[in-house]
Amino acid sequence: MPRDLEGARAIVTGASSGIGAGIARAFGEAGASVIVNYHSDEAAAAQVVDDIRAAGGQGEAVKADVSQAEDCARLFAAAETHFGGVDILVSNAGIQKDAAFTELSLEDWRAVLDLNLTGQFLCAQEAVRRFRAQGHDADRGPAMGKIILMSSVHQAIPWAGHVNYASAKGGVKALMESLAQEVAGEKIRVNAIAPGAIKTDINREAWEDEAARKEMLKLIPYGRIGEPEDIARAAVWLASDASDYVVGTTLFVDGGMTLYPSFREGG
Which DSSP category does 180 fall into?
H
Selected range binding ligand NAP among 11-19, 26-34, 76-84, 126-134, rule: CB under 6 A: 11-19
Selected range binding ligand NAP among 24-32, 89-97, 100-108, 140-148, rule: CB under 6 A: 89-97
Tell which positions 167-196 bind ligand NAP, by CB under 6 A. Answer: 195
Q: Is 93 in the site for ligand NAP (CB under 6 A)?
A: yes
Contact string (CB under 6 A) for ligand NAP, positions 34-73, x = contact:
---xxxxx----------------------xxxx------
Tell which positions 102-141 bind ligand NAP, by CB under 6 A. Answer: 115-116
SS3 state of residue 4: coil
Q: Is 243 in the site for ligand NAP (CB under 6 A)?
A: no
Residue 165 designated active-site: yes
Selected range binding ligand NAP among 52-60, 135-143, 183-191, 201-209, rule: CB under 6 A: 201-209
Question: E strands within the chain?
Answer: 9-12, 33-38, 58-63, 88-91, 145-150, 188-195, 250-253
The 3-state secondary structure of 69-100, one letter per residue: HHHHHHHHHHHHHHHCCCCEEEECCCCCCCCC
| H or E element at residue 18 | helix 18-29
Q: Is 94 in the site for ligand NAP (CB under 6 A)?
A: yes
Contacts of 54 (CB under 8 A, 6+ apart): none
Q: Is 19 in the site for ligand NAP (CB under 6 A)?
A: yes
- Using the rule CB under 6 A, which residue among 5, 9, 11, 17 binds ligand NAP? 17
Question: Smallest distance, Å, CB 161 to ligand NAP?
Answer: 15
- Using the rule CB under 6 A, which residue among 5, 8, 10, 14 binds ligand NAP? 14
Instruction: Report how far residue 180's alpha carbon sits from residue 74's, in angstroms, rounded to the nearest whole number.
Output: 24
CA 123 to chain CA centroid, nearest Å: 11
Q: Is 74 in the site for ligand NAP (CB under 6 A)?
A: no
Angle at 147 between CA 167 and CA 161, to 5 degrees: 15
Q: Is 200 in the site for ligand NAP (CB under 6 A)?
A: yes
Selected range binding ligand NAP among 1-9, 17-25, 122-130, 211-219, rule: CB under 6 A: 17-25
Residue type, 229: E
Tell which positions 138-167 bind ligand NAP, by CB under 6 A. Answer: 150, 152
Sign of torsion over alpha carbons 63, 141, 179, 159:
negative
Q: Is 95 in the site for ligand NAP (CB under 6 A)?
A: yes
Phi, then psi, of 64 in degrees rounded to 5: -165, 140
- Smallest Cα–Cα separation from 216: which of 198, 232, 240? 198
Question: Smallest distance, Å, CB 34 to ligand NAP?
Answer: 13
Report, as residue numbers or ranges, the catalytic residues: 165
